[in-house]
Amino acid sequence: MVVSKSQPAQNSTVLIFGAGNFGSCLASHLGDSLHQVYMWAREENLIKHFNEHHRNPFYLTQHEFPETIHAVGPELPTEEFIASMDVLIFAIPTQFLRANLKLLRPRLDINNLPLLIFVNKGIEVGSHALTLEIIADTCGADIAKASTFISGPSFAKEIVERQPTSVSVASFTEEEAAKAANLFHQPHFRCYTGGDPIGIELSGALKNVYAIASGMSDGLGYENNTRAMIITRGLSEMTCIGTAYGASPLTFLGLAGVGDLFLTCSSSNSRNYTVGHRLGKGESLDEIMKTLGSVAEGVSTTKGAKAIIDMLGVDAPIANSIYDVLYNGKDTRAAIRELMALPPSRELDLPPNVGEPARHLLRKLGLGTPGSITPPSQYQPNL
Ligand SMILES: NC(=O)C1=CN([C@@H]2O[C@H](COP(=O)(O)OP(=O)(O)OC[C@H]3O[C@@H](n4cnc5c(N)ncnc54)[C@H](O)[C@@H]3O)[C@@H](O)[C@H]2O)C=CC1
Ligand SMILES: O=C(CO)COP(=O)(O)O
């Protein structure tokens, strides 16, 4: 059993893993309050520059960070350092999370566990695991159950400019989610809590696939009707995939679902949208990935999403089409033409067979199997 530290106070000690756009954004956001913030980076030159100049030389380069934030690394922090933290936040791209958590696990004291918050938005290639499962595999079921997930429409650049922003925060118990919500709360930043971490994770990961589709359509020169169609049909696909997986369909109507879908499908500030836009303009995926300079989770997540869609047998023609554009050389214009040529169909039917992947995951976490821990009352999966 995990013994968590008490509620993080307004002056918590926080360590953020990842010093990219979002890791450094969250460092700035929390450093803006009374929290003592450390940010772990892998790049020695970033650490030195950040500590001397309070600027990140590679990401959010125009932003001046609060002087109280310290960059640490490139070695992983010691067990003693981690033990002194109230909160650990993981802003590491999904494909690298497993390797980092494996290294970190021996340094975590399960009897004195900080609040653990994950903000990555992706599905692991190969295993098609959600982050919950990656945590369970590397750190054990107890640590996975205690973890909290944040997702929603939140461009890093706008948060550091203190533009009003809201996100979804989910954990298996809303008490844990409320701790994270309180930690992040500021006059310009509101969190809405919930108890469907699987739905929140699927929302954040899948919207990236549709952001690629929307960017692609804009890049091809199609305008508002087409974008609105992709956003709405994307929401419908996300909801079907998520419901079949075992998430609550309502979760997809929240900030992490339609909120982030709308944001990233309609802004060139989104890296996933940008990948799609450049594909639509005729660039190859190879060229785009070499020059993007930042992670676009949707590119790898499309592979995991495709595996999940095939496993569930749900109808998700837009996601399948993006998979073919990215990995089977399908022409972008032909992709849109073929989607439009599909026979007329009913607008929205939720899938009949639901919940097996979520049940499998809950069993792995020791939740919901006969004789084990009863699922927390706040968690309302669609089982
Ligand atoms: N940028 C944004 O506005 C938001 C991003 N996110 C999510 O946060 C996660 C991180 O995204 P960004 O910071 O924007 O990406 P980024 O591309 O700006 O930065 C990536 C970070 O990951 C680190 N990294 C690369 N390989 C690594 C490895 N093998 N091990 C550990 N760290 C490694 C890099 O050093 C860098 O610090 C993604 O899952 C993204 O979807 C979530 C909300 C908003
Ligand atoms: O998820 C995001 C904002 O909510 C960031 O989107 P991109 O990763 O597409 O830039």
- Give the C-alpha separation, 147 to 125, whole Å: 21
Which tokens belong to 57? 């030389």
Together in a domain, 180 and 221: no
pLDDT at residue 175 in the model = 86
Do both 184 and 230 map to the same domain?
no
Residue 374 within a domain: no
**Within this chain, do residues 26 and 166 fall inside the same structural domain, yes or no?**
yes
Q: What is the pLDDT along the chain (383 residues), one digit of tens a residue?
A: 565 665 555 689 999 999 999 999 999 999 998 899 999 999 999 999 999 999 999 999 999 999 999 999 999 999 999 999 999 999 999 999 999 999 999 999 999 999 999 999 999 999 999 999 999 999 999 999 999 999 999 999 999 999 999 999 999 987 889 999 999 999 999 999 999 999 999 999 999 999 999 999 999 999 999 999 999 999 999 999 999 999 999 999 999 999 999 999 999 999 999 999 999 999 999 999 999 999 999 999 999 999 999 999 999 999 999 999 999 999 999 999 999 999 999 998 888 878 999 999 999 999 874 333 334 434 455 55
Same domain, 17 and 153: yes
C-alpha span between 215 and 271 (Å, rounded): 10
215 shares a domain with 191: no
Question: Which one of 102, 207, 281, 330 is the catalytic residue?
Answer: 207
Q: Residue 303: which CATH number? A: 1.10.1040.10
**What is the CB neighbour count within 10 angstroms for residue 351?**
18
Question: In the prediction, which pLDDT does 375 show?
Answer: 41
* Ligand at shortest distance from the CA of 269: 2
Output DSSP code: residue 274.
H
Tell whether ligand 1 has an atom less than 6 A from the beta carbon of residue 273.
Answer: no
Give me the pLDDT at residue 5, please: 62
Provide the phi-psi class of 329: left if phi over 0, else alpha when psi is between -120 and 50, else beta.
left
Q: Please, which residues have CB within 8 angstroms of residue 328's CB and are 6 or more apart in sequence?
A: none
Q: 47 and 161, same structural domain?
A: yes
> Same domain for 181 and 207?
no
Residue 19 is labelled as binding a ligand: yes
What single-letter amino acid sits at 166? S
Total domains in the fold of the chain: 2
Residue 373's pLDDT is 33
Q: Is the CB of 296 under 6 A from ligand 1?
A: no
Q: Can you give the pTM of this predicted structure? A: 0.95
List, in order, residues 6 or more apart from 99 with CB less than 8 Å away: none
pLDDT value of position 369: 43
Residue 207 annotated as catalytic:
yes
CA 362 to centroid of ligand 1, rounded, Å: 27
Residue 22 and residue 38 in one domain: yes
Which bound ligand lies closest to the C-alpha atom of 267?
A: 2
Residue 373 resides in a domain: no
CATH number (domain holding residue 64): 3.40.50.720
Is residue 356 classed exposed, middle or buried when 0-12, 13-18 and 19+ CB atoms within 10 A define those classes?
A: middle
- DSSP state string for 85-149: -SEEEE---HHHHHHHHHHHGGG--GGGBPEEEE------TTT---HHHHHHHHH-HHHHHT-EE
Domain annotation covers residue 1: no
C-alpha 175/C-alpha 164 separation (Å) is 24
Give residue 20's domain range.
13-198
Identify the pLDDT of residue 382. 55
Q: Specify the pairing of strand 36-40 against strand 70-72.
A: parallel
Take residue 171 and report the two structure tokens written for it.
């954990």
Residue 170 lies in a domain: yes
Note whether 209 and 279 are same-domain residues: yes
What is the Rg, in whole angstroms, of the alpha carbon atoms belonging to the chain? 20
Is 376 contained in some domain?
no
Q: Is residue 46 part of a domain?
A: yes
Residues with CB under 6 A from ligand 2: 121, 153-155, 208, 211, 260, 263-264, 270-272, 297
271 labeled part of a ligand binding site = yes
Together in a domain, 164 and 58? yes
**What is the atom index within ligand 2 of the atom nearest the CA of 153?**
4
Domain C-terminal end among 164, 179, 198: 198
Complex ipTM value: 0.99
